[in-house]
Chains A and B, each alone.
Chain A
Amino acid sequence: MPVAFWRRGVLLGANAAFLASFGSAAALTPVLAFTAACMLAILAVAHQPRLAAAALIALVLLFALLRGYFPFWEPPRAVTTIGMSYVLFRTLQVVLNLRDDVLRPEDVPPAKLALFLTSFLTLGAGPIQWYEEFASQLARSERLRLGDVDPRAVFGRAVGGFAKLIVLAPLVSAAYDEAVRASWPTGCRIGISAALFLLWIYVNFSGYMDVVIGLGRVFGFDLPENFDRPDRTTSFLDLWSRWHITLSRTFLTYMFNPLVATMLRRRWVSGPIAAGAASYLVVFTLVGWWHGPDVRFALMGFLFGVAAVVNKLSQAARQRWPILKFRSPFGPTISGGIALGACAIAAVPSWPLFQSVGEAVAAFRSPYDAAIAFLVACGAGCLARVLGQLGDAVAGTALRGTTWRAATSPVVLGLIAALLSSVALARSVDLPAIAYYQRF
């Protein structure tokens, strides 16, 4: 048997072992059934491309049913739906690319398809890889030799990710728990808590991405980045090219662009700004609702959409009336801070401590408190930008004269020692990270 066959077997075995770590076969029934349905749908569309629309509608309805979006049925607590939404996104792009003749039926043999849909590297929380990228990297991984892997690059990235997950994330989570219960004025309390919650999400999520991207390189996979220094953002719309990048590009490619294009082609709206505004509201609401069946998540998404519309309208106004352009060396910091602050406040309804939309809204107590919370969160966003720039400046000077070839081994060993100590200490700390990802 050729080496490629055995290597694919190892990857498939790793996928099965990773899935099995989340529960028994019974608990994984929704995930397994849904993945099987996705495979069947793809193979059907490969032979009959005009089945694409019906297949996608059926899969989305099945996904919504299994995840508990319909009020008439709630999934049993004993089952897990880990990774289902990412399987759906991967299926969506393959089906649409088959329909559009970007992929041919011979490009999606069942074995390769199964590896793509259930890849242990990207099952839990992405990143959402394009099928063509996966296929070419799979071919490369099958030719990979151990000596081709740079252990410093691989394990340095993964160890850094573990440090974020096991050391930093619980600290930020603890700070958030303290802030949300502090006896500060409501606006300040919500604003600071919102900033900490967003920071916790970033540290958690980007840490997990560091782990999977680093380990992916062991297998020859160059997984796409999901974060690109969100502290450097200059606007709310720019933030979505830096935060959960692969989700943004999936929704952009297969929802936002087709929606805008349809509105413009059929003259449903007066022009691009109106098309963009309507599409931002629809797409961001769906992005929010994707986080969970609760209306709170749809509200979060809708607020993201409102922020995007406000951003786009302000850009259009400055383009039309250049006198409105405010040039200042602090401009990018202020606009970036506002973007991060808006994101943080919009995410408040998704806080686990709220059980309903009413509770989330009531937390603000008054429009005055909401305004103060927004200002405080924007201030925290500006601070994040400034600290990021300071960090870059310090790192630039510290690294310039350092011979890293000699320094790396003690640094990595030191990090591993710190990690092991932290794991021992953190066993008594509730690690919300894994529980959070099991939501998807």
Chain B
Amino acid sequence: MEGGRAFSRAEILAAIQEIVRPILGRPDIVLSEGMAARDVPEWDSLAHVTIMVRVEEKFAIRLRAAEIVRLSGVGALIDLVERRTAGI
């Protein structure tokens, strides 16, 4: 759990990728900011909320119910993590 410091977008993306791989069962998946959940067949609702919980644990943040469901893609998730770790 890493909290209390700002992260670069590259660091956030790399951390999310490490979280996503075992949850989706895709050890070779490479995420990009333009990727959306609908682009990955294994990324269903259960995987989505599991990923969000692991992201919360990783960055010591808390995501709201409405935010979790409305995240449109990896880029939006990085934006959200950036804001939360910056205290916004």
Partners in one complex: yes
A246 to chain B, nearest CB (A): 12
A311 to B68, CA, bound (A): 23
B49 near A257 with CB under 8 A, answer: yes
Q: For chain A, give the interface size range.
A: 20 to 34
A96 to B46, CA, bound (A): 21
Contacts of A102 in B (CB 8 A): 64, 66-67
A260 to B50, CA, bound (A): 8
B52 within 8 A of partner (CB):
yes
B52 near A261 with CB under 8 A, answer: yes
B30 within 8 A of partner (CB):
no
B42 near A261 with CB under 8 A, answer: no
A53 to chain B, nearest CB (A): 13
A256 to B69, CA, bound (A): 11
B65 near A257 with CB under 8 A, answer: yes
A388 to B61, CA, bound (A): 45
Most chain A Cβ neighbours within 10 Å, of B25, B48, B67: B25
Known contacts A102-B64, A272-B46, A319-B42: A249-B53 contact under CB 8 Å = no
Contacts of B46 in A (CB 8 A): 260, 272-273, 275-276, 312
Residues 43-71 of B at the A interface (beta carbon under 8 Å): 44-50, 52-53, 56-57, 64-69
Contacts of B49 in A (CB 8 A): 256-257, 260-261, 264
A265 near B53 with CB under 8 A, answer: yes
Which of the residues B23, B25, B64 comes within 8 Å of A100, measured between beta carbons? B64
Residues 299-343 of A at the B interface (beta carbon under 8 Å): 312, 319-320
A100 near B50 with CB under 8 A, answer: no
B25 to chain A, nearest CB (A): 4
Main secondary structure of the interface of B (DSSP, over half): helix
A319 to B67, CA, bound (A): 28
Q: How many residues of B contact A (CB 8 A)?
A: 20
Name B24's closest neighbour in chain A (CB-CB).
A319
A144 to chain B, nearest CB (A): 26
Encode B15-30 as 1/0 by CB contact (under 8 A) with A.
0000000010100000
Encode A239-268 as 1/0 by CB contact (under 8 A) with B.
000000000010011101110110011000
A319 near B25 with CB under 8 A, answer: yes
A96 to B69, CA, bound (A): 14
Contacts of B56 in A (CB 8 A): 265
Contacts of A101 in B (CB 8 A): 64
A258 to B62, CA, bound (A): 12
B65 near A258 with CB under 8 A, answer: yes
A264 to B57, CA, bound (A): 11
B39 to chain A, nearest CB (A): 15
B69 near A264 with CB under 8 A, answer: no
Encode A92-127 as 1/0 by CB contact (under 8 A) with B.
010011001110000000000000000000000000
B66 near A253 with CB under 8 A, answer: yes
A254 to B69, CA, bound (A): 9
B45 near A252 with CB under 8 A, answer: yes
A100 to B44, CA, bound (A): 24
A386 within 8 A of partner (CB):
no
**Given contact pairs A257-B49, A257-B69, A320-B25, a sample of 12 additional A-B residue pairs in the complex whose CB atoms are under 8 Å apart:** A96-B65, A97-B66, A102-B66, A253-B68, A254-B65, A260-B46, A260-B49, A265-B53, A272-B23, A272-B46, A272-B47, A275-B50
